[in-house]
Structure 1
Amino acid sequence: MPKSTRFVIVVCAVAIAMVLLLQFYWVKNYYIVNQATFEKEVNMAFEDALKKEFSLRCDTIQQLLAKRLMDTTEFLITSGFDTAEKKNIFTIANAHQPGQKFSSSALSFRGINKALLPGDTAFKWAIATRFAYTMRTEDLQNHVVYYRTQNLGGFMVDNVNKYDFDTTRLRPVLAHYLKDRNIETPFRFYVRETDSAMNRSHFDEKLLARYPIITKSYPTYKQKGKEQYVRAMFSNPFSYIIGRMGYMFAGSLLLIALVAFSLIYLLRTLFREKRVSAIKNDFISNITHEFKTPIATASAAIEALTGFGVLDDAERTGRYLAHSKNELEKLSALVDKVLNISMYENQDFNIKPEPVDLDIEIRKFLTNATLLPGKEINWNYVNDTGINCVTADKLYFEHAVNNVIDNALKYSGTNVQLQISIYIKSSFLVIAVKDNGIGVAANNLSLVFEKFYRVPTNAHRVKGHGLGLSYVKSIIERHGGWCKMESEPGKGSILSLAWPI
């Protein structure tokens, strides 16, 4: 490989490696930032959820307290005017033990300064609701219960125990707050008797492998049991982070793909041009040799005619002229092949379709082939389709079929077994030419129809220019058909030409 080519490859490889490393560095750092954001968001959501869940429990107990205070079999609610303070004082007493009671002027602070009259249920409910709210703020929210009366304290303790902290009630609340932050990562709760509220706990590596994000610890103030602290644990937040990275992540992947594609395309183009250059050089070498041979032969014959008195001998003159004519005809045929390929590339390749008799034409080609010196040729022709004619340009049809048969003979040994069969496949009439030649390796089959290409192992055995099959493909495609080669080294080849019916 030339140094310049190696240099280009190394520069391209280094460039794409640097782009990939930079993209990886940016994406990795951005991922870490978003992971930290995720941890912050779930901590905030978890704190809000705990407060909300506790608030909902307090709401429930507050409503139960208000209803309980309205029960006259348990509590007596009365009012009295305080002349010193000039406001009504409301008292709640234990109906079973009237001596147990407590008073408050809370309603007076709200601008309600009237006495409770018998039968005024609405005002009594307002008093009960206000007392329940007071006990919520003074007791429940401070996580204590004051026994203002025995039956009220007992009722509050029973309900605090009944509506104690429970992860079952916390789960839907946390899920709601997480959804508000577009987080749908699976989670579970981690509760224990002792923990660090400063978030300095150490966790087992197996646990962290399953749940890499664990929130801070918060107290539950659970009345009974060992669940005094709770955390929320989240599985890998990959989908959430990728969702937040969005267009940046997609853009990075696109950029990496584009750079990789550009490098691959550049290298493929480079190697293709190198291969084409090598093929053209080989073609020029072959064609030059082929041109030189007839030219040298004709020149020698003409020199003999002019310089050695051959003109006086009619028999020798005729022989030399015949040699010159044959060599010039070979030269003309070779030039025609090159010109035909050039015409096809320049779109100057007009066909004139007409009915062509398959049997007559193919048998003529095979009969002529048997006259080839130095080879024993046996052929078999089968056409069971019932179709004897195909619509094609007769001249180009002859060129295509003749080239294929010529190739089969050229790349076979001295004992040639040729099988030509015609069949129908998907609205195409297929002419298949099978030989017992040297064959073509699988890695070369896709290249045999390319212009100037010759199979490396065959190039030194048989003379050629790499134009024949390329020319055949041009003819077939211009007629709207297709061609295909099947082959195995040492087992011969089958070359199929498909013509539209």
Structure 2
Amino acid sequence: MKLPLKYIALLVILSLTGVFAYQAYWLTNLYRTQRSQMERNIREAMRMSDYNEMIVRVRRLQNDSSVQTEVTVSTGYDNERAFTKTHTIRSVRQGDSTRISIWERDASDTARTPQAALQANMASILFEKKNSTAELASNFQQGLHAGMDLLNEPDFAVFDSLLRRELHRIGIDAPYRLMYLHRGSSVDSSYTFTDTLAVEGTAGYRPSPQAVTYSYSYDMHGHWNYLLILEPTESLVLAQMAGILTASALILAILGLSFGFLIRTLLRQKTLEEMTSDFTNNITHELKTPIAVAYAASDALLNFDSGTDPAKRARYLRICQEQLRRLSGLVEQILGMSMERRKTFRLHPETFTPQEVIAPLIEQHKLKADKPAGITLRIEPENLTVYADRTHFSNIVSNLLDNAVKYSPGEAQIDITCREDNGWFVLSVRDQGIGIPHDKLRHIFDKFYRVPTGNLHDAKGYGLGLYYVKALTEKHGGTVEVRSEPERGSEFTIKLRMKN
């Protein structure tokens, strides 16, 4: 079953819309995922910078001149959860080296190694929550802070330097502002306060109203905070997705062009099918007419004693000859179109004067025209020659003359000019006919195309003449051009390369 073109176009459009919608949905979700991951990476960068800053302070303690320092800090879960953890940081001077050891104790054990403490309590911790590992790491880092900060306060400049490096590692080189805050309240909690202890970041940067704030607290009660202010990360996420976005846009563009080309091909095929149908109907009529006329003339000669009258016999024979010549020309043109598309098609160019080909054609068209026709020929210089296939050159000129006569209302006035122009042979055929509308000029060389004339069908044709002219001219390596004004006539110009 043959689907109408509009249903095919609808299916194609729906398919393309579905692909576009799915691609947009996928890219949107990917963008959201990337943005969330970027925010997590920023917070993790702050945590890692805080951890590395403590490592820097630990290394400084290794060079401390104190003999022994010990700080014990209790942290962890409350009594109801039956877990209490003690962190001990001990700095002991032994000879020329300093050893920093970290011990952990719980409520039932007064002296355990870190490994023993972890083994004793791992089962009760890991199954408390799905993020128990992250919680343990956070508690451990907060416990380290509680002990380290009593020995040596956090170095904000070091934290800023480490954070800058971490941000660069995850692809963020945007300007930022970093603040070190202390939040607290009175004993009776009647009022709270926030102190800004230090400010670092990119010089000259002023956060916009759209800037995003990331907070990181390194103590259990949220009193000590690092505040990072960045511009929205959308542009950074889009930059990271540039490769995916470019590939997706390219794929969508290819799909769009492919579907567009498919629709265009279907439309052209439909138009070609309509032209072919019109051509079949028209050519059938054109073939039947000379056959019927020649048959009637020959029948009159055979059956009505017209052969005894020399004048009638000559008249009927002339009619037969003219119709057979018309039929022969029509068949020859159709065969020429068929052969032109074959790979085995070959031209047989030779050098000859245009006069010897064009002059007989002028006489033939004057004789067969059903209206008065004035055709002039001008060749400059007189000895001008053309290098072309004689038969096809004759058919090209014949087609142009036939159109000039056919589309000239009343008496046909046609001027033919042959000249040389910088190594090119130039043939111009100008008439004073009805002309061609400007919006139709680009179609007149298409196969089977005829300029619409409404309900008027006085000009016979089958849309092959000008197609033949263009195809064979290009086979010769030449070009064809047309200039036309409605109601003022048309001029066709053929250019062929002259033989050196």
Shift of 1:272: 1.4
Shift of 1:107: 8.8
Shift of 1:369: 4.9
Rounded Cα–Cα distance in structure 2 between residues aligned with 1:174 and 1:404 = 82
Rounded Cα–Cα distance in structure 2 between residues aligned with 1:310 and 1:367 = 29
Structure 2 vs 1, CA of residues 378 and 323 (structure 1 numbering), >3 Å: closer, same or farther?
closer
Q: Contact 1:410/1:462 (CA < 8 Å) preserved in 2? A: yes
Q: Which amino acid in the other structure matches residue 478 of structure 1?
A: K
Greater CA deviation, 454-463 or 469-478?
Answer: 454-463
2:280 is aligned to 284
1:496 is aligned to 493
Given the alignment of the two structures, is residue 482 of structure 1 paired with residue 466 of structure 2, yes or no? Answer: no
What secondary structure is seen at the aligned counterpart in 1 of 2:459? coil
Q: Which residue of the other structure, out of 215, 218, 224, is the alignment partner of 1:217?
A: 215
The two structures, once aligned, show a CA RMSD in angstroms of: 4.2
Cα deviation code 1:67-121 (max 9, x no counterpart) = xx9xxxxxxxxx9xxxxxxx999xxxxxxxxxxxxxxxx99632359xxxxxxxx
Greater CA deviation, 336-345 or 359-368?
Answer: 359-368
2:153 is aligned to 142
Alignment of 1:322-361 (within 5 A): 322-361=318-357
Shift of 1:320: 2.0
1:176 is aligned to 165
Q: Which amino acid in the other structure matches residue 273 of structure 2?
A: S
Q: Which amino acid in the other structure matches residue 188 of structure 1?
A: Y
Pair member with larger Rg: 1
Q: Which amino acid in the other structure matches residue 269 of structure 2?
A: E
Shift of 1:437: 2.5
Rounded Cα–Cα distance in structure 1 between residues aligned with 2:428 and 2:23 = 54
Rounded Cα–Cα distance in structure 2 between residues aligned with 1:53 and 1:476 = 83
Q: Contact 2:444/2:451 (CA < 8 Å) preserved in 1? A: yes
Structure 2 vs 1, CA of residues 313 and 299 (structure 1 numbering), >3 Å: closer, same or farther?
same
Given the alignment of the two structures, is residue 266 of structure 1 paired with residue 248 of structure 2, yes or no? Answer: no
TM-score by length of 1: 0.67
Rounded Cα–Cα distance in structure 2 between residues aligned with 1:411 and 1:334 = 19
Rounded Cα–Cα distance in structure 2 between residues aligned with 1:496 and 1:446 = 15
What secondary structure is seen at the aligned counterpart in 1 of 2:214? coil
Rounded Cα–Cα distance in structure 2 between residues aligned with 1:420 and 1:220 = 97
Aligned length: 400
Q: Which amino acid in the other structure matches residue 23 of structure 2?
A: Q
1:302 is aligned to 298
1:189 is aligned to 177
1:256 is aligned to 252
2:39 is aligned to 39
Q: Contact 2:484/2:491 (CA < 8 Å) preserved in 1? A: yes
Identify unmatched segments of 5+ residues in structure 2: 70-89, 98-146, 185-206
Structure 2 vs 1, CA of residues 31 and 357 (structure 1 numbering), >3 Å: closer, same or farther?
same
Structure 2 vs 1, CA of residues 321 and 192 (structure 1 numbering), >3 Å: closer, same or farther?
same
Cα deviation code 1:20-43 (max 9, x no counterpart) = 211211111111111111111222
TM-score by length of 2: 0.67
Q: Contact 2:362/2:375 (CA < 8 Å) preserved in 1? A: no
1:26 is aligned to 26
Shift of 1:257: 3.4
1:75 is aligned to none
2:191 is aligned to none
Rounded Cα–Cα distance in structure 1 between residues aligned with 2:459 and 2:302 = 35
Identify unmatched segments of 5+ residues in structure 1: 70-78, 80-86, 90-105, 114-135, 144-163, 197-206, 222-226
Rounded Cα–Cα distance in structure 2 between residues aligned with 1:53 and 1:187 = 21
Structure 2 vs 1, CA of residues 307 and 264 (structure 1 numbering), >3 Å: closer, same or farther?
same
Shift of 1:480: 1.9
Shift of 1:299: 2.1
Structure 2 vs 1, CA of residues 244 and 409 (structure 1 numbering), >3 Å: closer, same or farther?
same
Shift of 1:408: 2.3
Shift of 1:389: 1.2
Q: Which amino acid in the other structure matches residue 414 of structure 1?
A: G
Rounded Cα–Cα distance in structure 2 between residues aligned with 1:392 and 1:344 = 15
1:394 is aligned to 390
